[in-house]
Amino acid sequence: MVATSFKFIDLFAGIGGIRIPFDKLNGECVFTSEIDEFCQKTYKANFGDMPDGDITKISPKDIPDHDILLGGFPCQAFSIIGRQRGFADTRGTLFFNIEEILREKMPKAFLLENVKQLYTHDGGRTFSVIEKTLQKLGYNVHSTILNALDFGVPQKRERTYIVGFLDKKVQFDFPVGNKPYDLLDVLEDDRDVSKTYQASEYIVRKRKDAVKGKPPNPSIWHENKSGNISALPYSCALRASASYNYLLVNGRRRPTEREMLRLQGFPDKFKIVVNYTQTRKQAGNSVSVPVVESVAKSMIAAMSLKKEVKQRKRA
C-alpha cells in the first residue's frame, strides 16, 4: 500500500464531490461532517465513512489534525436563486465555523467553494469579510471563479473557489480550463430510459412552441424563472430546488439520476442509493468534480514544489 502524502478533512461534505480528487491524489480523509441524513447515506455507501453530523455541535479541538481543510460551505445564503441574505442567514454564518477550525488546527492549506454570487454579494462586502478573516489567520489567500464548461463538463456552472496557504512562499496559480465537453458523453440512450422520466405532452408541446430557432441535437432545454426557454448543447446549472421540468433532455424527458451525476463529473462507479428526488437534490448541491480535481492538482503541486525547494536548500 502506498503511504498517504497528506491528511485532509471534508466539511459540509454533501456526497463527497470535493473529496474524490483528494483521495485520488493519495490523501487520507481523517474527518467528515455532513448534516443531511440522505447525503450521509450516499457518502457512507461510496467512501465507507459515516460523516459526523452538525458541525456547529462539534468542538474544533475534537477534530483530528490535518494538512488541508476542504469546505463547500452552504451557498443558499449567497445564491442568486435564494434571497441573498448572506451573513444574515444562519447558513451564511457557518463560514465562521470554518474560521474556528482553521484557528484551532492551522492546517497548511484550505480549499473553499461557493456560488459565483459570493463575490458580489452586498456590494462585495461579504467576500471582503471572508477574505480578511482568512488573511488575519495568517493565510495567503487566492480566489477566482471557474466554470465547469471549461473543464470538460457539459454544464454551465460558475463557482467561486478560495484557496489559502499558511506558507506565504507557496506559489499558486488557479488552473486554466481548456478541455472540450460533449453532451453525448453524459446522456443515456433514450431506449434505455424508463418512460417515467418523460415529461407530459402538455409540457413538451409548451417547450416546443416557446423555443427559438432549431435546437442543437443533442441538447438540454432549460426554462428559467421568467419562463424563457433555451435549448443548448450543455446543461444550465443543476439546482436542488428547481421545478422537476426545468431541465429536459432534447425537450422531452427529465435527466436520469446517472445523467445528473455525470453532469457534475462523478464517475459511473459512484453508487446511487437514494431515490430520484434525493439524488436530484444531491447533484444540484454538489460540486463539479473535474474542476475541483484541477484545483487540487495545482494545490498539491504548489505545496510539493515548495517542499522540494526547502529540501534542496538543506542539501
Q: Are residues 119 and 202 in the same domain?
A: no
223 in any annotated domain: yes
Domain interval for residue 205:
183-284
pLDDT at 119: 87
206 in any annotated domain: yes
Half-sphere exposure of 218 (CA within 13 A, CB side): 20
pLDDT at 105: 98
* Number of domains making up the chain: 2
pLDDT at 85: 46
pLDDT at 6: 95
**What is the CATH number for 95?**
3.40.50.150
- Residues annotated as part of the active site: 75
Closest alpha carbon to 56 in 110, 12, 118 = 12
Q: Are residues 42 and 155 in the same domain?
A: yes
Q: Are residues 166 and 227 in the same domain?
A: no
Q: Are residues 72 and 128 in the same domain?
A: yes
CA-CA distances (angstroms) from residue 313 to 104, 307, 308, 309, 310? 30, 10, 9, 6, 5
Q: Are residues 157 and 192 in the same domain?
A: no
255 in any annotated domain: yes
Do 206 and 228 form a contact (C-beta atoms < 8 A)?
Answer: no
pLDDT at 147: 98
Q: Are residues 231 and 301 in the same domain?
A: no
Three-state secondary structure readout of 81-101: CCCCCHHHCCCHHHHHHHHHH
Q: Are residues 112 and 229 in the same domain?
A: no
Q: Are residues 280 and 300 in the same domain?
A: no
Across the strands, what pairs with 147? 158
Burial (CB < 10 A; 0-12, 13-18, 19+), residue 279, is buried
**What is the CATH number for 194?**
3.90.120.10
Instruction: State the pTM of this model.
Output: 0.90
Q: Are residues 69 and 21 in the same domain?
A: yes
Sequence-distant (≥ 6) Cβ neighbours of residue 204 within 8 angstroms: 248, 251, 252
Q: Are residues 124 and 237 in the same domain?
A: no
Angle at 216 (CA atoms; ends 212, 222), nearest 5 degrees: 60
Q: Are residues 200 and 264 in the same domain?
A: yes
49 in any annotated domain: yes
List of the chain residues with pLDDT < 50:
1-2, 76-92, 308-309, 311-315
pLDDT at 91: 42
1 in any annotated domain: no
Q: Are residues 238 and 277 in the same domain?
A: yes
